[in-house]
């Protein structure tokens, strides 16, 4: 039987830390012929990327020119068409596909001039991109984002998003009355059926050598609460923090604040085994309020004590996670874990059961029912 073909257009580099778009692409490829194309970042540190290969599907990149970021060019309307033309000649022939899957309004804006009406469009909204500083602080990009967010919702046959908060915000902002299917994020459970050699033993040894350590895994950006971490380091001379993931901000210098860069996902779970607890210290803003965090699913799987900022999406995990409202509560949780007064909220069996109910396989099962 001939398999349907999906052109899968991502705004996240394939070599980025593994996120929702990567997981869905891999699962879709089990039942469809998937061709992944991703927007190549103009500038990104090699420390933020991981070399990942997948021999089971075609993966390629495309580039666009940053007209909107150049002050004397940003208001010249016809230049937008140049990028669409550049994308068109870099992508495979869209007419040869049954469906196009986009992970961002921005990806739709690039292909909309040449997307055939007969092609089914699927839109999966991972984050509230309009709340990223690069968008909301640039009037030209924000105007374009507001327009194309509405347009992609109108055009798409199927719309998914990652959280209830995000869904409600999109509906309110666009005024479009359309079914948006909420599919929360999930966990890709590591393969424990065989011994997996760690790819970066140097990082593992570094983690093992740090005492009383708490680890954060994920993107490190403006939402990371460094003030909170630095204040805890001042209060307690024994605690240490380890950060792993791509970073686009300046990390403060401190002897007990360790940034280890981006690590292969296969190594992450072994690294998390060697710390006291796992943390998600976010500064609350509108971007974060819409996030259903992948890292929390992975943290819970580890059966370590987990501490996270309290907001509506993190409250979904309250039975498993210590949620804090302020610095004092965060510090008391840290202290309680260090003094062995606090442990994981649930047993290892309960944590694994939670993970099995919230895998990417489970989420993909819901996707498949909708797009089959």
**Cα separation, 2 vs 7, whole angstroms:** 16
Residue 77 vs residues 217, 260, 345: alpha-carbon distances, Å: 40, 43, 55
Residue 118 vs residues 96, 155, 248, 295: alpha-carbon distances, Å: 11, 11, 40, 38
Number of domains forming the structure of the chain: 2
**pLDDT computed for residue 44 by the predictor:** 56
Give the least confident one: 46-50, 123-127, 226-230.
Answer: 46-50
Do 169 and 262 share a domain, yes or no?
no
327-338 helix and 226-235 helix, angle to the nearest 10 degrees: 50
Confidence of residue 325 (pLDDT cuts 50, 70, 90): very high
Mapped onto helix, strand or coil, the DSSP state of residue 212 is coil
Q: 266 Cβ partners below 8 Å, 6+ apart?
A: 190, 196, 198, 199
**Cα separation, 155 vs 109, whole angstroms:** 11
DSSP code of residue 178: -
**Cα separation, 49 vs 247, whole angstroms:** 10
Do 211 and 173 share a domain, yes or no?
no
**Cα separation, 108 vs 320, whole angstroms:** 37
Do 243 and 175 share a domain, yes or no?
no
Whether the per-residue pLDDT at 256 is higher than 60: the answer is yes
Whether the per-residue pLDDT at 196 is higher than 90: the answer is no
Task: Go through 282-315 and write b for each residue having 16 or more CB atoms within 10 A of its CB, e for each that does not.
Answer: beeeebbbbbbbbbbbbbbbbbbbbbbbbbebbe
**Cα separation, 71 vs 344, whole angstroms:** 51
Confidence of residue 139 (pLDDT cuts 50, 70, 90): confident
188 assigned to some structural domain:
no
193 assigned to some structural domain:
no
Q: Name the domain boundary from 149, 183, 217.
A: 183
Q: What's the per-residue H, E or C state across 96-119?
A: HCCEEEECCHHHHHHHHHHCCCCC
Confidence of residue 194 (pLDDT cuts 50, 70, 90): very low
Q: 357 Cβ partners below 8 Å, 6+ apart?
A: none
Average pLDDT value for the chain: 92
Whether the per-residue pLDDT at 295 is higher than 80: the answer is yes
Query: Where does residue 245 fall: left (phi above 0), alpha (psi -120 to 50 degrees), or beta otherwise?
Result: left
Do 95 and 237 share a domain, yes or no?
no
Handedness of CA 300, 161, 35, 111 (dihedral sign): negative
Per-residue pLDDT of 50-81, as tens digits, reads 556 677 889 999 999 877 666 555 555 667 78
Do 179 and 39 share a domain, yes or no?
yes
334 assigned to some structural domain:
yes
**Cα separation, 287 vs 26, whole angstroms:** 26
**pLDDT computed for residue 49 by the predictor:** 56
pTM value? 0.92
Q: Which helix (H) or strand (E) holds 146?
A: helix 139-155
Q: Name the domain boundary from 126, 149, 183.
A: 183
Mapped onto helix, strand or coil, the DSSP state of residue 154 is helix
Do 102 and 241 share a domain, yes or no?
no
157 assigned to some structural domain:
yes
**What tokens were used for 43?**
């500038």
Do residues 202 and 280 lie in contact, with contact meaning Cβ atoms separated by under 8 Å? no
Confidence of residue 215 (pLDDT cuts 50, 70, 90): very high
* CATH number of 332's domain: 3.40.50.2000
**pLDDT computed for residue 69 by the predictor:** 61
Do 305 and 353 share a domain, yes or no?
yes
**pLDDT computed for residue 134 by the predictor:** 86
Whether the per-residue pLDDT at 154 is higher than 80: the answer is yes
129 assigned to some structural domain:
yes
Q: Name the domain boundary from 126, 156, 183.
A: 183
Per-residue pLDDT of 344-363, as tens digits, reads 999 999 999 999 999 999 99
Confidence of residue 193 (pLDDT cuts 50, 70, 90): very low
Whether the per-residue pLDDT at 248 is higher than 70: the answer is yes
- Closest to 95 measured CA to CA, from 120, 112, 117, 116: 116
Do 248 and 315 share a domain, yes or no?
yes
Q: What is the mean pLDDT of residues 228-241?
A: 98
Per-residue pLDDT of 28-55, as tens digits, reads 999 999 999 999 987 655 555 555 667 7
Residue with more model confidence, 46 or 205: 205
**pLDDT computed for residue 17 by the predictor:** 87
Do 18 and 123 share a domain, yes or no?
yes
Do 339 and 292 share a domain, yes or no?
yes
Whether the per-residue pLDDT at 219 is higher than 90: the answer is yes
Which structural domain range is residue 78 located in?
5-183
Mapped onto helix, strand or coil, the DSSP state of residue 79 is helix
192 assigned to some structural domain:
no
**pLDDT computed for residue 141 by the predictor:** 86
Residue 239 vs residues 218, 268, 276: alpha-carbon distances, Å: 20, 21, 10
Q: What is the mean pLDDT of residues 82-102?
A: 95
Do 46 and 132 share a domain, yes or no?
yes
368 assigned to some structural domain:
no
**pLDDT computed for residue 66 by the predictor:** 79
Do 19 and 122 share a domain, yes or no?
yes
362 assigned to some structural domain:
no
Residue with more model confidence, 263 or 334: 334
């Amino acid at each position: 039987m001939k398999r349907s073909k999906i052109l899968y257009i991502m705004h996240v580099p394939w070599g980025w830390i593994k996120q929702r778009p990567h997981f869905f692409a891999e699962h879709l490829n089990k039942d469809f012929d998937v061709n992944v194309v991703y927007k190549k970042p103009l500038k990104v540190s090699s420390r933020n990327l991981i070399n990942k290969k997948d021999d089971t599907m075609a993966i390629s990149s495309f580039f666009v020119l940053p007209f909107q970021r150049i002050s004397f060019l940003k208001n010249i309307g016809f230049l937008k068409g140049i990028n669409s033309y550049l994308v068109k000649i870099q992508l495979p022939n869209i007419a040869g596909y049954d469906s196009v899957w986009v992970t961002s309004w921005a990806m739709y804006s690039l292909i909309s001039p040449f997307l055939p009406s007969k092609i089914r469009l699927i839109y999966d909204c991972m984050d509230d991109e309009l709340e990223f500083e690069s968008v909301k602080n640039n009037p030209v990009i924000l105007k374009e984002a507001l327009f194309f967010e509405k347009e992609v919702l109108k055009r798409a046959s199927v719309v998914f998003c990652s959280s209830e908060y995000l869904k409600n915000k999109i509906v309110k902002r666009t005024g479009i009355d359309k079914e948006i299917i909420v599919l929360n994020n999930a966990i890709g459970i590591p393969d424990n059926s065989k011994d997996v050699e760690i790819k970066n033993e140097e990082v593992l040894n570094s983690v093992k050598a740090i005492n009383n350590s708490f680890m954060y895994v994920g993107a490190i950006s403006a939402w990371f609460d460094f003030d909170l971490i630095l204040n805890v380091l001042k209060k307690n001379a024994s605690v240490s923090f380890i950060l792993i993931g791509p970073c686009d901000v300046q990390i403060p210098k401190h002897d007990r604040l360790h940034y280890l860069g981006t690590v292969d996902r296969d190594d992450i779970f072994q690294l998390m085994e060697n710390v006291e607890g796992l943390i998600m210290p976010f500064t609350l803003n509108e971007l974060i309020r819409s996030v259903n965090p992948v890292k929390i699913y992975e943290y819970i799987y580890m059966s370590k004590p987990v501490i996270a900022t309290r907001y509506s999406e993190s409250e979904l995990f309250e039975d498993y996670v210590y949620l804090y409202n302020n610095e004092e509560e965060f510090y008391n949780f840290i202290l309680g874990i260090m003094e062995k007064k606090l442990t994981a909220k649930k047993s290892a069996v309960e944590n694994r059961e939670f993970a099995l109910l919230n895998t990417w396989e489970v989420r993909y099962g819901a996707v498949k029912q909708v797009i089959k």
